[in-house]
Structure 1
Amino acid sequence: MKVLYLLRHAKSSWSDGSLPDHDRPLAPRGKKATRALVRHLAGVGAEPALVLCSTALRARQTLDGVLPALGAEVDVWYEDSLYGASDDELLARLRKLPPAVPSVMVVGHNPGLADLAVELVAGGDEAALARLHTKFPTGALATLGGIESWQTLGPGAASLTGFVVPRDLGTGQTGSQR
């Protein structure tokens, strides 16, 4: 069975209004959240074989922050198409993954990530499902398991095995930016 990790970039900064959205960096709270995510990812043994990451600065900085916890063998692909991708576009990208890839992490943005997670899950931890349906804040990580193949991935094809937000990790971060 395949495993999909959906990681929304951590809290970004709005302090420099002259920056294009694509170039906004992480805020101090976002950097703190990535450090907490490292501990969480290491604790649960998350080791995706592949990471697909948006080219937006805040997504790249989020990945840079958590990369130490993902294992030495992880392959990272930065893709422009993930910036602003809808749930349908993300699903189409995942369906193109080689069948041999056992697990993948997508580091991206809302609303695409949240919509994709809600679309794919058919069950799982009830408390986590309720929280997922309520909000997918910046720095949140959804773990989806029970996926038979990337090519047949679609509505209801996965179960939610975990959903953690920065507040769960003691950072106090909340957020709702794209």
Structure 2
Amino acid sequence: MKTLTLLRHAKSSWDDPVARDFDRPLNAKGRRAAAMIGRHLKAEGFAFDHVLASPAVRVIETLDEVWSGYGQKLEPVWNKAMYLASAPSLLDLVQAMPDAADHVLMVGHNPGLEDLVLDLTLDGELRERVEDKYPTATVAQMTLPVDRWAEVRAHSATLVAFIRPRDLDPTLGPDTP
């Protein structure tokens, strides 16, 4: 059994004048949300033995804040192929994970992460919440009935958690400063 946790980067700042989208930083709300998600992951006993992340600035800053809340910094494998990757590209990365890793955290971008969850999981209430919206700084955790990552296939995972920042603190939801 393998566990795959996906984290969408936290809310970024559109006010920051950067030349490339890749360099866009987090805004204050995004920093708060990422730190809160980190605290929640720690409190709920989430543990990871492999982290794969996009090297975009907003993902790097999201992980810095998550680790601050989590109380432990885990070193990710930075992979530029994750930057704005499609679900099929992300699935290729999942299938190439080291088999020694049982619980992987992938940190990246939408719509790829949302589409990957929808492609991998079976129908259910949590999946319907993902279909509705996969907000920034949201965590989706799936269990996969496989021994090797290369065996991961569509519609085989069970979505066991879908945690949005606003579920933990309503001020981190939409329509609030």
TM-score scaled by length of structure 1:
0.90
Q: Secondary structure at the residue paired with 2:61?
A: helix
Report what 1:163 is aligned to.
Answer: 162
Are the aligned partners of 2:144 and 2:152 in contact in 1 as well (CA < 8 Å)?
no
Report what 1:24 is aligned to.
Answer: 24
Cα drift, residue 71 of structure 1: 4.7
Q: Secondary structure at the residue paired with 1:122?
A: coil
Alignment of 1:33-52 (within 5 A): 33-52=33-52
Are the aligned partners of 2:85 and 2:112 in contact in 1 as well (CA < 8 Å)?
yes
Alignment of 1:68-79 (within 5 A): 68=68, 69=70, 71=72, 74-79=74-79
Alignment of 1:59-70 (within 5 A): 59-68=59-68, 69=70
Report what 1:143 is aligned to.
Answer: 141
Report what 2:2 is aligned to.
Answer: 2
Amino acid in the other structure paired with 2:114: A
Report what 1:80 is aligned to.
Answer: 80
- Sequence identity, in percent? 37
Question: Which sections of structure 1, spanning at least 5 residues, go unmatched?
Answer: none
Name the CA shift for 1:70/1:108 in 2 (closer, same or farther; >3 Å): farther
TM-score scaled by length of structure 2:
0.90
Report what 1:97 is aligned to.
Answer: 97
Cα drift, residue 142 of structure 1: 0.1
- Normalized per residue, the structure richer in strand is 1
CA distance in 2, matches of 1:142, 1:86: 17
Are the aligned partners of 1:53 and 1:106 in contact in 2 as well (CA < 8 Å)?
yes
Name the CA shift for 1:174/1:22 in 2 (closer, same or farther; >3 Å): farther
Q: Secondary structure at the residue paired with 1:110?
A: coil
Question: Which sections of structure 2, spanning at least 5 residues, go unmatched?
Answer: none
Q: Deviations over 1:86-105 (max 9, x none)?
A: 10000001111121111111
Aligned-residue CA RMSD in angstroms? 1.7
Amino acid in the other structure paired with 1:82: M
Structure 1 residue 56 corresponds to structure 2 residue 56: yes
> How many residues are aligned here?
172
